[in-house]
Amino acid sequence: MGVFIDSVDEEGNISERAVDKAINAARSLQTVIDFSLNKHLKSNVNGKVIECGIGIDYGKVLVTWVGMYGVESDENKEDEQGCVWVGNTTNYASKYSDIASGGEIFISENVYKNLSEEYKEVWTKSAKYKGTKLFQGYITKDYYLEFSEELGNAVKIEEDNTVELDTSSQLADGIKEIERLQDKLIQREKELAILEEKLKKENEEYKIKYNNEYTERISACNRKDEMEDEWRQLIENFYNTIKGILSKVHYQEYKYMDRIGKDYLYKLIEMEYDLGKKIGKGKEDIVFDLACYLIEIYDYFKDYPNAYDSMLIMAKKSDHWVNLEDATLKWAKENNVLYKLFNEIERALVNFRVKYERRKDFEGYLEKIRKIRGY
């Protein structure tokens, strides 16, 4: 980890910004790896090369001296004291580096705002998930020092296009799979209806003429049960496929929501309600299952009542996070219903339903709502 501070001249003016120093340090590291270290490794270490992703955040941090005292004088023991940097800034920088791909520099909004203008042109706004939490910021890749062209060609790990498929292609394949499953489901339902009618007719005939054909009737009933199990499994697969499509709505700053379109997204949501009902899920359970995606979809298309209802269910049932979209919260305040969300989150804390490691997040949600309400 590297920590940088602003450079100040004799008159107290900032002569070089800390964020500019951090960016140049990251560029230097990427340049050394791809133009020097990897060349040596490829020639001398069985053709192996390395890569790294770098994360940067900007803000206040606390520096403290920690360790055990009383052993400094013993030359046979290691130094038990050291300098430690702590705070949200260091934590976020670490998380940004975890989700940055090889060769990427991933910076927070605070870093970008404080950059000098000469460094701002190369960045693209982006968002990535770490676990269930979304981190937004700016990304650039292969951002080397200016003189890197004089060093020859960069030596990098070959990109594996089979690991991360193009998201638009995934969406197209997903939609095709939905259509295929829908056709198959309709066909299965028709076959099941025909079989049920056949069973009804055969049972009537068996009662009159063929009491001795008990074994065949049992076989038909077993086949019916098997087909019902297949039908249920098909619905569950169909349900999960749609859920997978909806889970990608935040990709590339929501461009894919525009590509799919509001009407088709809402159609998928209605299909999901119908499929969930067929496999025994209540509407509230379905909403909670899809809550973080529904909130983003409804909020993006300014359907704030539905976004807020989904947010309330997520607050009521989730034990680790709630997706709070600012525009929806503003709508709730203007319509005098924001107290409902506050009460649900507060109830989760009072009843100890929230995981211990997530309590501070939920307390933060309450504080955010208080500020919006003006308390």
Per-residue pLDDT tens over the stretch 154-164: 888 776 544 34
Per-residue pLDDT tens over the stretch 233-249: 988 998 999 888 888 77
Judge whether residue 167 has pLDDT over 50.
no
**Amino acid letter, 221:** C
More confident residue, 292 or 313: 313
Query: What is residue 159's predicted lDDT score, i.e. its pLDDT?
Result: 62
Lowest mean pLDDT among 62-76, 110-124, 256-270: 62-76
Q: What is the DSSP string of 115-161?
A: S-GGGSTT-EEEEEEETTEEEEEEEEES---GGGGGG-----PPP-T
Query: What is residue 136's predicted lDDT score, i.e. its pLDDT?
Result: 87
Residues 6+ apart with CB under 8 A from 36: 151
Per-residue pLDDT band for 274 (boundaries 50, 70, 90) equals very high
Q: What b/e readout covers 279-288, taking b as 16+ CB neighbours within 10 angstroms?
A: eebeeeebbb
In this structure, how many other beta carbons lie within 10 angstroms of the beta carbon of residue 309?
Answer: 19
Mean pLDDT of 324-351: 95
Query: What is residue 76's predicted lDDT score, i.e. its pLDDT?
Result: 61
The closest alpha carbon to 301, from 347, 252, 266, 276, belongs to 266
Judge whether residue 72 has pLDDT over 80.
no
126, 251 contact by CB (below 8 A): no
Lowest mean pLDDT among 145-149, 242-246, 286-290: 145-149
Token pair for 144: 């080397």
Whole-structure pTM value: 0.47
Radius of gyration of the chain (CA): 29
Mean pLDDT of 344-366: 94
56, 94 contact by CB (below 8 A): no
The closest alpha carbon to 239, from 208, 283, 269, belongs to 269
Query: What is residue 148's predicted lDDT score, i.e. its pLDDT?
Result: 72
Judge whether residue 169 has pLDDT over 70.
no
Mean pLDDT of 247-269: 80
Q: Give the rounded percent of residues in the chain with a pLDDT score beyond 90.
A: 35
Mean pLDDT of 84-111: 88
Mean pLDDT of 6-33: 89
Q: Give the rounded percent of residues in the chain with a pLDDT score beyond 70.
A: 89
Cα 113 → chain centroid: 24
